[in-house]
Every structure is written in structure tokens, then in C-alpha cells.
Amino acid sequence: MSKMLALLACTLCLGIAGGSALAQKLQKYRTPDGKIVYSDRPVPGAHLVDEVAPPPPPDPEATAAARAATAREGKAVDEAAGKRAGKVPSGSAENDAAAALERAKQTLERGREPLPGERLGTVSGKSRLSEEYFARQRTNEAAVAEAQARLDKARSGR
């Protein structure tokens, strides 16, 4: 019984994701060998046991709080990067570019962990990352590449 509850809780938690996943109802099936399967489609050869209501949508306040915490951490990184880059005269293009590169790298590293709503459940009971997660990663990687290009340009202008 506790194994079924754990699987149900895991499936529901992993299923908290994009709007299309939230609109679907899950069915609970029992396969001939006794395994429990949760799916949004009929499972061949399995017996329908129950229908599970979709999980509630992600809390927008929790998502906003996570983004605000990330922004606060970014400011702290900015200050630390500015102190480390202090060898170059303050306000120089190279100093600004080095600080921007450091911020972009820190944002990329902090952004590796999925935000609420960026992990989707799968029929097999595992999870996958949403397209929003991968788009955010591409944006962060592009910001690092752009900052590196600006720093290279500033250093070549010395």
C-alpha cells in the first residue's frame, strides 16, 4: 500500500508542469503481472483501476520567490566579481566585461537546477525536463558566450 502511495505521490509531483499536462487526467492501471501504471492513455492488456485527478498548477508565488532569490544571488555575485576584477581600473571596458562574464557564468551555474514547473512526469514514472528549462539554459549559455566575446574584444583593444 505504501509503495502505491509513494508511486502516486511521485507521479503527481513529477506531473506538475506545463498547461497541457495539467489538463489531462491520469488513469491508474494494473498490469497482468500486478504492476501499477499511471498513464493518460489506455495501457494495452492492463485493467483500469481508478482515475486520478490532475495535480494543482504550480504556485506562481513560489516561482516568483525562486526567481527573486536568484536575482538577489546575482547581485552578490556582481559585487564579488567587481572586487576580484579590481586589478583593472574601475569603470574600464575590460573591468565591466570581466564582471559581466563572471555574472553570466554564475547565472549559468545557478540555473542548472530546474525551477518549479520545469520538470515533467513521464508514463514510466520517471521525469524529464520541459522545453522552458532548455530554453532558459540556451539563453544562459548565449549570455556567457556574448560576455566572453565582449571581454575578448576589450582585451584586444588594450
Tell me the pLDDT tens digit for each residue of 91-139. 578 888 888 899 999 999 988 888 888 888 888 888 888 888 899 999 9
> Residue 104 and residue 26: Cα distance in Å, rounded?
40
Q: Residue 37 in 3-state DSSP? A: strand
Question: Cα 104 from chain centroid?
Answer: 17
Q: With contact defined as beta carbons under 8 Å apart, do 120 and 14 qualify? A: yes
Whether the CB-CB separation of 81 and 103 falls below 8 Å is answered with yes
What is the per-residue pLDDT for 148?
92
pLDDT value for 45: 92
d(CA 59, CA 142): 29
Amino acid at 50: D
Has residue 87 got a pLDDT over 80? no
Q: List the one residue out of 129, 87, 86, 136 whose CA is nearest residue 110.
A: 136
Is the pTM for the entire model greater than 0.75?
no
Residue-wise pLDDT tens digits, 27-36: 899 999 999 8
